[in-house]
């Protein structure tokens, strides 16, 4: 099923953001090694919320949850994403995708596209590298630029893409140095350069190739149900247009149509707990932010009224008395967040608003 929609702006009030620690910019390296998202204090008058991604791939280490946790901050929100993450020839290698940057733009999050400057040889797997750390000076320089930047996150992020060639070359050079120093072979430099050359000839080429890759990934995801997903409906692809005419491609775990209503359902599943983990829930809430702000939602020529749904399922029977205190607090805040932002939460088939907590 192919759904098209438009987003003209984002309005959303998050309630599940965790309290953020405060770090001075002089301690940025320590902050990045100990905290996934935090308030970075520049001086007594300037600060920002900073999160970072382990890998440019969205399915690793809950990067959406990290970004979500920064959304309650009233000032500028920044996230750092590596342009490439290479774990060594025997490990994974991931490349940045346009859709990741576009989602950050839609959320109003300034993106610093960066690279890893140091790493260690793996202890168990000696043909892989671990404990990769960003080039701190590069990030500090970009933070200085953001502090002076007067336009919005969308235009900043597009400007970051203009520099993708320079950043990617620094990343490849850094991995070359890491390989020599640690004696660990990395993935083919030639294939990486070809991939980058194809993506960075211009901003438009980057967008076109990345969108095509996203389309292919989207198509694969639409027809593939992961074993951990307990969903009974039909998967769908959603093409979202913004006010600049850009097209962004996402997937929806399940779509149901009833009369003029279309239910856009994001599913999170837990096998051994009463409810999915807090990070899983926050990951799903990023989709709720998107789905609750959709306009002109259409399939073919017919327009529907969109209803965003976060579906939480578990193999365990839901018994309120068996909830841990932290789980109960999560559900209480989630119930309130859903009501304020006008989406539904279904817990093992029961509307969370109908459950006394």
The 10s digit of each residue's pLDDT in 297-335 is 999 999 999 999 999 999 999 899 999 999 999 999 999
Query: Taking each helix axis from N to C terminus, what angle separates 325-341 and 278-291, rounded to the nearest 10 degrees?
Result: 0
pLDDT of 118 above 70? yes
Asked if residue 222 is part of any domain, the answer here is: no
pLDDT of 275 above 70? yes
Banded pLDDT at 209 (limits 50, 70, 90): low
Tell me phi and psi for residue 344, to 5 degrees. Answer: -100, 145
Domain boundary among 184, 215, 246: 215
Q: What is the pTM of this model?
A: 0.90
Structure tokens given for 107: 């959320």
100 and 51 in a common domain: yes
Q: Sort residue 300 into left (φ over 0), alpha (ψ -120 to 50) or beta.
A: left
Residues near 341 by Cβ (< 8 Å), separated by ≥ 6? 12, 13, 288, 289, 292
Banded pLDDT at 197 (limits 50, 70, 90): confident
278 and 148 in a common domain: no
Residues near 189 by Cβ (< 8 Å), separated by ≥ 6? 172, 176
The residues that bridge with 273 in the sheet, in sequence order, are none
Mean pLDDT calculated for residue range 249-258: 89
Asked if residue 11 is part of any domain, the answer here is: no
269 and 296 in a common domain: yes
Cα–Cα dist 281/310, whole Å: 8
pLDDT at residue 3 in the model:
92
Report the domain count for the chain: 2
pLDDT of 69 above 50? yes
Looking up tokens 């996203």 gives 214
Which segment of 123-127, 183-187, 284-288, 324-328 scores lowest on mean pLDDT? Answer: 123-127
pLDDT at residue 28 in the model:
98
Could you list the residue range(s) of the whole structural domain that residue 287 is in? 227-354
pLDDT at residue 231 in the model:
45
Asked if residue 240 is part of any domain, the answer here is: yes
Which segment of 10-24, 190-204, 224-238, 270-284 scores lowest on mean pLDDT? Answer: 224-238
Asked if residue 73 is part of any domain, the answer here is: yes
139 and 203 in a common domain: yes
Percent of the chain with pLDDT over 90: 69
163 and 53 in a common domain: yes
Residue 38 parent element (H or E): strand 37-43
Question: Cα–Cα–Cα angle for 194, 196, 198, nearest 5°?
Answer: 70
Mean residue pLDDT across the chain: 89
250 and 170 in a common domain: no
Cα–Cα dist 313/349, whole Å: 8
Contact 234, 267 (CB under 8 A): no
Which segment of 77-91, 191-205, 255-269 scores lowest on mean pLDDT? Answer: 191-205
Q: DSSP string of 279-311?
A: HHHHHHHHHHHHHTT-EEEEETTEEEEEEEEEE
Cα–Cα dist 5/7, whole Å: 7
Asked if residue 3 is part of any domain, the answer here is: no
231 and 146 in a common domain: no
Domain boundary among 150, 183, 215: 215
Tell me phi and psi for residue 41, to 5 degrees. Answer: -95, 115
266 and 154 in a common domain: no
Banded pLDDT at 353 (limits 50, 70, 90): very high
Asked if residue 72 is part of any domain, the answer here is: yes
117 and 60 in a common domain: yes
Query: How many angstroms from the chain centroid is the CA of residue 274?
Result: 25
Domain boundary among 185, 215, 245: 215
pLDDT at residue 191 in the model:
87
Asked if residue 221 is part of any domain, the answer here is: no
Structure tokens given for 265: 């359902």
Sign of CA dihedral 103, 109, 112, 117: negative
pLDDT at residue 214 in the model:
61
Asked if residue 231 is part of any domain, the answer here is: yes
199 and 143 in a common domain: yes
pLDDT at residue 267 in the model:
95
Mean pLDDT calculated for residue range 151-161: 90
253 and 157 in a common domain: no
337 and 253 in a common domain: yes
pLDDT of 227 above 50? no
Mean pLDDT calculated for residue range 88-94: 92
**Rg (alpha carbons) of the chain, rounded to whole number:** 21
Banded pLDDT at 142 (limits 50, 70, 90): very high
């Amino acid at each position: 099923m192919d759904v098209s929609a438009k987003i003209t702006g984002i309005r959303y009030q998050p309630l599940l953001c965790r309290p953020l620690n405060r770090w001075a910019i002089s301690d940025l390296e320590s902050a990045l090694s100990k905290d996934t998202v935090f308030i970075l204090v520049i001086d007594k008058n300037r600060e920002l919320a900073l999160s970072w991604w382990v890998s440019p791939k969205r399915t690793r280490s809950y990067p959406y949850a990290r970004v979500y946790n920064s959304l309650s901050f009233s000032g500028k929100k920044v996230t750092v994403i590596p342009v490439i993450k290479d774990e060594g020839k025997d490990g994974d290698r991931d490349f940045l995708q346009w859709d990741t940057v576009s989602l950050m733009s839609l959320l109003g999050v300034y993106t610093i596209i960066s690279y890893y400057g140091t790493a260690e040889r793996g202890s168990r797997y000696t043909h892989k590298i671990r404990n990769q750390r960003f080039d701190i000076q590069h990030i500090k320089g970009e933070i200085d630029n953001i502090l002076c930047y007067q336009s919005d996150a969308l235009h900043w992020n597009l400007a970051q893409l203009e520099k993708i060639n320079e950043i990617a070359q620094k990343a490849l050079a850094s991995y070359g140095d890491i390989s020599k120093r640690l004696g660990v072979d990395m993935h083919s430099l030639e294939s990486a350069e070809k991939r980058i050359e194809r993506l960075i000839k211009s901003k438009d080429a980057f967008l076109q190739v990345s969108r095509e890759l996203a389309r292919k990934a989207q198509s694969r995801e639409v027809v593939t149900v992961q074993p951990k997903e307990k969903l009974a409906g039909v998967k769908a692809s959603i093409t979202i247009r913004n006010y600049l005419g850009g097209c962004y491609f996402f997937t929806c775990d399940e779509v149901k149509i009833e009369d003029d209503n279309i239910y856009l359902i994001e599913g999170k599943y837990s096998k051994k707990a009463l409810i999915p983990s807090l990070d899983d829930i926050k990951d799903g809430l990023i989709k709720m932010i998107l789905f609750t702000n959709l306009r002109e939602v259409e399939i073919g020529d017919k327009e529907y009224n969109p209803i965003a749904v976060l579906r939480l399922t578990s193999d365990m029977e839901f018994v309120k008395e068996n909830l841990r205190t932290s789980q109960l607090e999560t559900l209480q805040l989630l119930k309130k967040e859903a009501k304020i932002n006008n989406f539904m939460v279904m817990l093992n088939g029961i509307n969370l608003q109908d459950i006394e907590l």
